[in-house]
Structures are given as C-alpha cells and as structure tokens.
C-alpha cells in the first residue's frame, strides 16, 4: 500500500502542476480556447479546455488501477526523491542515471503530451466532419470528380491519416511501463539535440518559422487535372507511410527517448521512414510556389522558397542524426543498423 500511495500521489502532483501550467501560460491559453462542433450536429459544442481537464481526470482515475499492480518506483517519485535529497537534505551525491532519465522523461511528457491531446481533438472533429461531407456529396464522384476530390475526399483522407498518427503518439506519451513493454530505457540529454527536436514544435517553431518562413501548402493546386491528382495522391501515400510508421511503433515511441527498437515495416527498409515521407510531402506542397516563381522569373521568391524547404529538410535530417546519436548507445540498435544500413533510402530486396 505504501508503494502504491507514493507512486500515485507523486504522479498526481506532477499532473496537477502540468494542468496549472498549460491552463495559465499565455501561449497555451490560445490552444485551450478552441471550440469544436460537428457539421451534422451544430448545437453540440466541445470546449478543448473541458476535453483537456476531463482527460486528466480520467487519466488520474486509471492511474489508480495501474499503480495497484506497479511494483517499481514511478518516475515522478524518483524525481521528487532527487529534489528532496538535493535541496532539502543538501546531499552532495551526484545525480544517478535513473534520476536523470526520470527528470528528462517527465520534461518530454510535459512538453508533448498536452500538444498531442490538443491536436488529436482537432483531428477527430476534422475527420468526422469531412467524413460526413464526403458521404453527403458522394454523387459528385461520378458527376464532377475534381470537385469531389478537392473539396471533400482529400481533406477526409488527410485528416484521417493525421488522426491515426496523433492518436498513437498520444497513447505513447500517456502510457509507459513494463506491462506495456515500452518502458523508457534512456532519454537524450544533449541540449543541442533537444533544440533540434523541438524546433518543429510550438512554441519554438514560431522562431523557426520566422527564420525560415513556410512556403508550403497542405493542399497544392496544379492546373493540369492529371498532374493535380498525381501529386496530391502522392502526398496522401507519403503521409500514409508517415502515419503507418507511427502505428508500427505501437507503444514504443516518443521524441528524444529510447523505448526499445522496432524493426517491422516500414522500418525494415529504412531507419527513418517517417521523416523521409514527411519531407516528400513538404516538397510537393512547395512545388506550386516554385513553379510559379520559375514561370514568372521571380528569382527572389524561388530562392526564398528553396531556402525554406531546404532549411526544414535539414532540421529533419538533424533530427534523424539526433536519434542515431542517441540510439547508437543501445546494442540492439547497433544490430538493427547492420540489418537496415540505410537511413533514408529504402533498401530494395530483390529475390
């Protein structure tokens, strides 16, 4: 009982502090001000702040059952033990590896878990709304396929892909333990690599956007019917592989951590399929502005767009190198690299 109480209430304290921070910080108040509704049920409205609060309440209740069967020390308890020893007992002992991992793991969860909850809520409403609109306008499939594809089907497919990506990441940040076979083995401790990883996430991506700008669009338009369909279907395929990579990781992934090595598809062909496919989609998204700049001989716009696309791609290259640097301390990853030697180019196995 003592072990349960210490684990549960130490974790509950961290969750409470997280909620207070996100509900009062000026940047995240904007996220919590969102209100969602369904097209087919306009009188129903859902406030994202209520969603966030109710998920925390449900999570706190489920933790009771989790910690009843959890025999180890929780990471929150380990962190509190370190704080007590360091600042109250004035201990001169150096920080232990277990304490360092616990502190960094909680920082990762504090940063990413709420963002995933915010995004997941938006993707659920977007997916359901576009599903409804697609079904309502299915007659356009044979009458005017381009309008059907542009206004309904593409957005339904795209939001569904993002939903599956984010729902698994949300679970990964909320669930951890030996029972799920996804216990965090280590967390990257390099400040430089942390900055590289966080450069693509709010609020730090505001500074990245200011530096590199953003010349891509989620749904590029092309004048030719067939070229338009080809490139946008390529986007859906690339983003599907990106999402499929997340699903393949199941409960074993989150940024900056090592939760064991996954080698199934698509990781059996290249080590960073999600980053590759996301960059393919970005470059296709940027094609319209590049084509427009070439046609109009606008060297300035072309140069800025290229710098932006190359800059964002380079950030994800550094993110991949970050993961390589961190995971290469794991003997299992060393073995995996021998089996899959390519970071970005698929290994074709022709029999």
Nearest partner of 71 among 11, 2, 171, 173, judged by Cα: 2
Is there a contact between 77 and 11 (Cβ–Cβ < 8 Å)? yes
Measured CA angle at 297 (ends 292, 300), to 5 deg: 85
d(CA 153, CA 138): 9
Sort 341 into a burial class: Cβ within 10 Å, 0-12 / 13-18 / 19+: exposed
In this predicted structure, what is the pLDDT of residue 348? 57
- Picking from 102, 113, 14, the residue whose alpha carbon sits closest to that of residue 60 is 14
- Topology (CATH) of 184-351: 1.20.120
Q: What is the CA radius of gyration of the chain?
A: 23
Residue 103 has which token pair? 């502190």
Please tell me the distance from the alpha carbon of residue 35 to that of residue 111, in angstroms, as a whole number.
22
CA-CA distance, 307 to 312, in Å (whole number)?
9
Q: Which of 302, 309, 305 is nearest to 278 (CA)?
A: 309
CA distance 220 to 178: 44
DSSP E strand stretches across the chain:
35-38, 41-47, 186-187, 257-258
Say if CB 264 and CB 248 are below 8 A apart: yes
Per-residue pLDDT of the chain (351 residues; tens, 9 = 90+): 788 999 999 999 999 999 999 988 887 888 888 899 999 998 899 999 999 999 999 999 999 998 988 888 899 999 999 998 887 777 767 888 899 999 999 999 999 999 999 999 999 999 999 999 999 999 999 999 999 999 999 999 999 999 999 988 888 788 887 777 888 889 999 998 899 999 999 889 989 998 998 888 889 999 999 999 999 999 999 999 999 998 998 777 788 999 888 888 899 999 999 999 999 999 999 999 999 999 999 999 999 999 999 999 999 999 999 999 999 999 999 999 999 999 998 865 543
Q: What is the pLDDT of residue 286?
A: 95
DSSP state string for 312-323? HHHHHHHHHHHH
Cβ-contact 106, 79 below 8 angstroms: yes
pLDDT value, residue 351: 39
Of residues 15, 27, 24, 2, the one with CA closest to residue 204: 27
Residue among 96, 63, 274 at smallest CA distance from 176: 63
45 phi and psi angles, rounded to 5 deg:
-130, 145
Delimit the domains of the chain by residue range: 1-174, 184-351
**What is the number of alpha carbons within 13 Å of residue 45 lying toward its C-beta?**
6
* 348: exposed, middle or buried (Cβ count in 10 Å: 0-12, 13-18, 19+): exposed
pTM of the model: 0.91
Distance, CA of 97 to CA of 76 (rounded, Å) = 15
The confidence score (pLDDT) of residue 350 equals 41
């Amino acid at each position: 009982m003592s072990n349960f109480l210490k684990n549960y209430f130490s974790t509950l304290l961290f969750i409470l502090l997280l909620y207070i921070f996100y509900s009062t910080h000026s940047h995240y108040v904007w996220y919590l001000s969102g209100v969602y509704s369904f097209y087919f049920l306009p009188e129903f409205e859902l406030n994202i702040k209520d969603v966030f609060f109710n998920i925390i309440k449900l999570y706190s209740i489920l933790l009771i059952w989790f910690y009843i069967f959890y025999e180890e020390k929780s990471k929150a308890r380990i962190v509190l033990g370190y704080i007590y020893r360091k600042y109250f007992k004035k201990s001169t002992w150096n920080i232990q590896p277990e304490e360092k991992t616990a502190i960094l793991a909680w920082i990762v969860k504090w940063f990413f878990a709420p963002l995933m909850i915010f995004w997941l809520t938006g993707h659920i409403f977007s997916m359901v709304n576009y599903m409804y609109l697609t079904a309502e306008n299915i007659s356009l499939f044979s009458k005017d396929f381009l309008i059907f594809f542009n206004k309904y089907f593409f957005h339904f497919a795209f939001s569904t892909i993002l939903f599956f990506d984010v729902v698994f990441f949300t679970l990964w940040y909320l669930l951890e333990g030996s029972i799920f076979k996804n216990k965090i083995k280590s967390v990257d401790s390099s400040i430089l690599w942390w900055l590289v990883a966080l450069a693509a996430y709010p609020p730090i991506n505001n500074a990245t956007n200011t530096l590199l700008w953003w010349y891509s669009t989620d749904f590029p338009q092309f004048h030719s019917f067939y070229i338009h369909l080809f490139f946008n279907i390529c986007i859906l395929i690339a983003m599907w592989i990106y999402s499929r990579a997340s699903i393949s990781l199941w409960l074993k992934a989150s940024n900056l951590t090592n939760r064991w090595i996954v080698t199934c598809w698509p990781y059996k062909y290249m080590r960073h399929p999600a980053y590759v496919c996301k960059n393919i989609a970005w470059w296709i998204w940027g094609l319209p502005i590049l084509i427009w700049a070439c046609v109009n001989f606008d060297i300035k716009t072309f140069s800025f767009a290229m710098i932006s696309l190359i800059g964002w791609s380079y950030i994800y290259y550094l993110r991949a190198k970050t993961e390589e640097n961190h995971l290469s301390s794991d003997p299992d990853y060393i073995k995996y690299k021998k089996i899959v030697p390519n970071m970005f180019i698929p290994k074709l196995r022709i029999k």
